[in-house]
Amino acid sequence: MKGAKHLRAAEWIEEVAGDRVGDHSEILVHHYTQALDLARAVGDSEAHQLVEPTARFLILAGDRATNLDVDKARDYFRRALQVLPSGHPDHPLTLVKAGLSAYQGGSLDESQHYYEQAILEVSNSGDVHTHAHASLALSTLMWWKGDPTRRDALIAEAIRLLERQPPRPELAHAYRLAGQGASMSGRSHLALKWAEKALVLAQFLNDEKEIMAASIERGVARCDLGDHEGLNDLRSAVQAGLRFGLGPETSGAYSTLAEWVWWIEGTRPAAQLYREHLQFAERRGLVAPMMHDKAEFLRVLFDLGEWDEIADSTGDLLRWSEDHGDHQSEVTVLFNQAHVLLLRGQADRAAALEGRLVELAREIEDLQVLVPTLAVAGLIECAQGRIKQAVALVAELDNLTREHHGWRARFLPSAVRILVSAGQVHEADESMAGMVVSAARDQYSLLTGNALVTEATGHIEEACKLHEEAAQRWTDYGFVLEEGQARLALGRCLITLGEPVTATAPLQKARAIFERLGAVPLLNDVDRFLENVQAASG
């Protein structure tokens, strides 16, 4: 046989390696592919005998590279698909693995092609587990692409298939994704039930990867329901992922932990976690998670007042998300970009982004992008003098978050400012009635909303106390814009009470913040109040 030298080398390595043959998969791939290529080149009739071992070691090498080097894994799986004939029983699962590595490498359309081809190949074959595996992988991709209806249908189909079989890790994975979908739509109690169901099954199967992943979902649901011990679930998941050398799973745990630390503990510790995750994802070649988290990180940068960094990065992030069909990231970038433009006095440029932003967010139906989008769109409409449209957007936000006080609270100050400017103070007060929140960001947002309504109803002395408390809370938390807004409001109230001298200090602090941010409209507002102070003093 042509290539016999390579074949003998491969067989010798297999014999010597024994049970540790997987550790030598890369060199075995080299020898088997050389032997197969040489045999095929000369039309050797025995070349077909090399297909099985060549494909087996390409897949094994891809599996080993998945948590270490996504580009390598992607190449191995692609080559395995070239070796395996389409009717081979290992072909569909290899398609799924190729799809996962393509997704992690940032090629979402390529990933979708592999997943859909795998589902097509197994739909009539009776291979339930590969069918479910491909469906669940595709469901996650549909979330990134902003198609929640198809995502939910794929998860439901996978659960239907798997519950007819003996317990397997894929079923725990399906339960977990069902919980993730419930969490995204604000159904936290249901999300917790799915997460705990997934965790019980994963523990029964002693599957470390699924135990870790289910812990993430349970942590999210617990935090969402006000049980901040859920952060321990998330921290444990990150540590478990690092301990077991899991790339994509650790990346997901990092991202989720960073987000919840942001809401519960503040912007500075969250920023540290986001930076750690981005470095981790870059080292592992996890392009899609890295780019998505760069978009998510913009939200924390906004709070920190790092608006120049947002302005510098939006172009590249938008190009990437548009090129790869990552609508979730696209919306996240757009609402941060639009918000910065608006607050820097470029309302027309912000308004130019509004149509695409709102359309995409409504299609995705995920509260984490829809709520901030509606709040920012409302502010844009208000700045353009379209008060009726702004109020309608606030009403839509209010309706969506009726059963999810956390999401209502997170952008409550913007909603209340819109309603107060429209003269709908009673409606603003009603929107806060009965709200129960526990995360620091949510509590301070509710405090700010109450301060604004108290001021609007003429209870100025009480409003002063609330604005002063809000300013300190936001300072400690690390939300620079809201700190500035609270100090401006405090100065405004003090002037109303006839205490212009006392108003000077908070107004000067507010001015320094707005100048640093480049928030021109707010800077103009504070300057007008300072002029009033000077006039009263003169």
**Which residue in 255, 260, 252 sits closest to 226, CA to CA?**
260
The answer to whether the beta carbons of residues 477 and 305 sit under 8 Å apart is no
Distance CA 213, CA 234 (A): 9
Give the tens place of pLDDT for each residue, 411-434. Answer: 999 999 999 999 999 999 999 998
Task: State the pLDDT confidence band at 61, using cuts at 50, 70 and 90.
Answer: confident
pLDDT higher at 8 or 92: 92
Structural domain includes residue 485: yes
Which structural domain, as residue segments, surrounds residue 536?
458-538
Average pLDDT score over residue span 71-88: 81
**Which residue in 482, 397, 481, 396 sits closest to 445, CA to CA?**
482
Structural domain includes residue 278: no
Task: State the pLDDT confidence band at 54, using cuts at 50, 70 and 90.
Answer: confident
Q: What is the dihedral of CA 507, 509, 512, 513, to 10 degrees?
A: -100
State whether residue 59 is helix, strand or coil.
helix
pLDDT higher at 486 or 25: 486
Residue 102 has pLDDT above 80, yes or no: yes
Predicted TM-score (pTM) of the model is 0.76
> What are 469's two structure tokens?
């408390």
Structural domain includes residue 16: no
Structural domain includes residue 416: no
Got the DSSP string for 305-362?
T-HHHHHHHHHHHHHHHHHHT-HHHHHHHHHHHHHHHHHTT-HHHHHHHHHHHHHHHH
Structural domain includes residue 481: yes
Query: Quick one: three-class SS letters along 123-144?
Result: CCCCCHHHHHHHHHHHHHHHHH
Residue 21: the pLDDT is 46
Residue 86 has pLDDT above 90, yes or no: no
Distance CA 261, CA 226 (A): 13
Give the tens place of pLDDT for each residue, 319-365. Answer: 999 888 888 899 999 999 999 999 999 999 999 999 999 999 998 88
**Sign of the dihedral through C-alpha 423, 426, 427, 428:** positive
Give the tens place of pLDDT for each residue, 191-235. Answer: 999 999 999 999 999 998 889 989 999 999 999 888 999 999 999
Residue 111 has pLDDT above 90, yes or no: no
Give the tens place of pLDDT for each residue, 483-501. Answer: 999 999 999 999 999 999 9
Task: State the pLDDT confidence band at 17, using cuts at 50, 70 and 90.
Answer: very low
The answer to whether the beta carbons of residues 507 and 527 sit under 8 Å apart is no
The answer to whether the beta carbons of residues 91 and 82 sit under 8 Å apart is no
Structural domain includes residue 519: yes
Average pLDDT score over residue span 146-170: 88
Residue 371: the pLDDT is 95
Q: Mean pLDDT over all residues of the chain?
A: 87
Structural domain includes residue 368: no
Q: Tally the domains of the chain.
A: 1
Residue 7 has pLDDT above 50, yes or no: no
Give the tens place of pLDDT for each residue, 117-149. Answer: 888 888 877 788 889 888 888 988 887 777 888
Give the tens place of pLDDT for each residue, 291-306. Answer: 989 999 999 999 999 9
pLDDT higher at 535 or 386: 386
Average pLDDT score over residue span 167-195: 87
Lowest mean pLDDT among 1-15, 87-101, 440-454: 1-15
Structural domain includes residue 525: yes
